[in-house]
Amino acid sequence: MEGDIQGSPPFDDNVKERRKFEDIVEFLILDTALAFIVILLLAVPLYSWIVNDVTESSPDADEPSIQISWGESVFMPRHEECIDPNNGQDPGYEGFGVGYEPSISITSDGSMYITAHKDLRWGGEDSPVPIILDPDDPGPWWACTDGADTTWDYWASWFWASSDGGATWDHGDQFAPTPGNMLLANYAGGASECLGDEGDISVDAYDVVYYLDTTLEDNWWHRFSDNGTSYEDGPCQRMNTMAADDRPWVAAQGDGIIHYLGNSGASPPECSGDSGRYWYYHSEDGGASFSQCYSMPGGWSTISSQRAGPYVFVAQENADTDSGYVHVRISEDYGRGTGPGPGDGTWQDPVEVGPRNGNCPEGYPVVNNNEKGTVAVAWADCPGSDTDPWKMRFAISYDNGSNWSDSWEVQSFRGISMYPFISITEGDVVTLAFYGLDYDQWGGDDGYVEGKEWFLYAGAVQSPQVNDTWPFTIADPEPLHTITAYEESQGDVHALHDFFETVTSPDGTWLGIAYQVNVGQHPFEENEEQRYIKFVRGEFDHP
């Protein structure tokens, strides 16, 4: 038919009429198509407005920010038989543990453990600490004794445990009261008989909990199996390190592999010929023996490791200087083979991750990681004086530190963001928490002045990328501390001491924070307050 039409002109009348009809249909189709296109073009702005309105009013699945719903905070308890209403604690707080600088760890079943620095000044009115100030009236430390003006329940540092997700807390296995003075301490008794000052906690791949408690001169080890519920071996297991240590940092992984990063503050003469503030010790037998004091030169440092995997990370100021950079030391083989000097063994050369403009008071750069290769570092930056507005910087790697993002500022307000701490879920939810002082609070635009209040802030982001921001919120509505006239005049920003820590749950659905709050005037220290340890839990509100 088509060949006949094309090859047999002129058209007959029927063909002409059919062609006219086809032309009309073609015109109508074209006209309809054009009209449809016009309708689409007109609909785009309306559609865009509808979509934007929906995304503004409901969470987007691709939005990295995660909201947190905070529960009620709880204080850490004292043993009931050790409570003394006449020891100087404020009324209503006698049943709570006095301490500061808390550490927290969590096992695979969600059991949590907290330790904190004891208040040495509250170890008895005539305890050894005041000997320096009043050498004519020395005396021993006391624990759990009426009339001794002490908040100590036992000789070891605080060790609290929770098996219900942080709803309730008690003392760990074999951390019973040890009443009397320090001359009566029995180092062959329970774990609480081991005289300690402050400690750190970590958990290996088999859910063995390792608690290291320092005496400044050396350290005691405590080990707990069964997700931390059963005390192992005899108490008071001395570490026998060659260096006197201040703050201990501990990371555990595999089957009894332990990393200890000791802060000696100076080069121990009995160790290797290296110099440095921090010294690394390595154990592969659950802390029964350690390699001895290998230097990691630099400034303030922290350590973390994978539990099952082989990677170990140390975040560190490059030097004890007012400016410089933060670098990360990495071992991909459990920190093995460490020799004199950080370049020996399996430790790689340090990797620079970001600048450091100023030297914040006790400003530890913090590193943390998960099992899948995500590792992140956060640190406070103080480009001016201690009381000028601070900055908080953050850098992240998704391949065990082989490649790093550029670092970026994540602070959300003008003021101070002190002691940022990181936790990371296996789903790459990265949390940041810090002690925050907003200079613009209550509508003011001044700076570090009497009456301003410190709060605990935290936020969570899914798989953060450069320049992402955290939706920081206040985790506890009660202020942690209020600036005093003395602190304003002295520029003293150290009321909340040196650090605190966080954990995320094994299933990645919530964040737990152990932190310090100040309450009332300290009975034995001028211009100081009573310091207490609290815990708060926040649920992640995923889209």
Mean pLDDT calculated for residue range 70-93: 97
Q: What sign does the dihedral 431-433-438-441 (CA atoms) show?
A: positive
Residue 125: pLDDT band (50, 70, 90) is confident
Q: Is 152 exposed, middle or buried (0-12, 13-18, 19+ CB in 10 A)?
A: buried
Q: Is the pLDDT of residue 424 over 90?
A: yes
Mean pLDDT calculated for residue range 182-203: 88
Q: Give the whole-angstrom CA distance, residue 70 versus residue 384.
A: 34
Q: Is the pLDDT of residue 274 over 70?
A: no
Q: Which amino acid is at 290?
A: F
Q: Is the pLDDT of residue 466 over 50?
A: yes
Q: Give the whole-angstrom CA distance, residue 118 versus residue 221.
A: 17
| Residue in this structure with the two tokens 């691709």, named with its chain if needed | 62
How much is the pLDDT for 189? Answer: 76
What the block records as the tokens of 516 is 């310090």
Domains of the chain by residue range:
2-56, 63-541
Mean pLDDT calculated for residue range 506-523: 97
Q: Give the whole-angstrom CA distance, residue 443 versus residue 451.
A: 13
Q: Give the whole-angstrom CA distance, residue 308 versus residue 246.
A: 29
Q: How far is CA 541 from CA 65, 97, 389, 442, 457, in A?
A: 10, 32, 31, 28, 17
Q: What is the pTM for the complete model shown?
A: 0.87
244 close to 268: Cβ distance less than 8 angstroms = yes
297 phi/psi in degrees, rounded to 5: -60, 140
How much is the pLDDT for 132? Answer: 53
How much is the pLDDT for 279? Answer: 86
**Tell me: domain 63-541, CATH 2.130.10.10, correct?**
yes
Percentage of the chain modeled with pLDDT above 90: 66
Contacts of 24 (CB under 8 A, 6+ apart): none
Q: What sign does the dihedral 129-134-140-143 (CA atoms) show?
A: negative
Chain-centroid distance of CA 214 in Å reads 21
The pLDDT tens digits of the residues spanning 19-78 come to 333 443 343 333 443 333 333 333 433 333 332 332 222 333 456 999 999 999 999 999
200 close to 209: Cβ distance less than 8 angstroms = no
Residues in the chain: 543
The pLDDT tens digits of the residues spanning 305-321 come to 999 999 999 999 999 88
Q: In what order do the strands lie in the sheet with 312-317?
A: 301-305, 312-317, 323-331, 351-357
Helices (H) and strands (E) in the chain, counts: 3, 32
383 close to 357: Cβ distance less than 8 angstroms = yes
Residue 246: pLDDT band (50, 70, 90) is confident
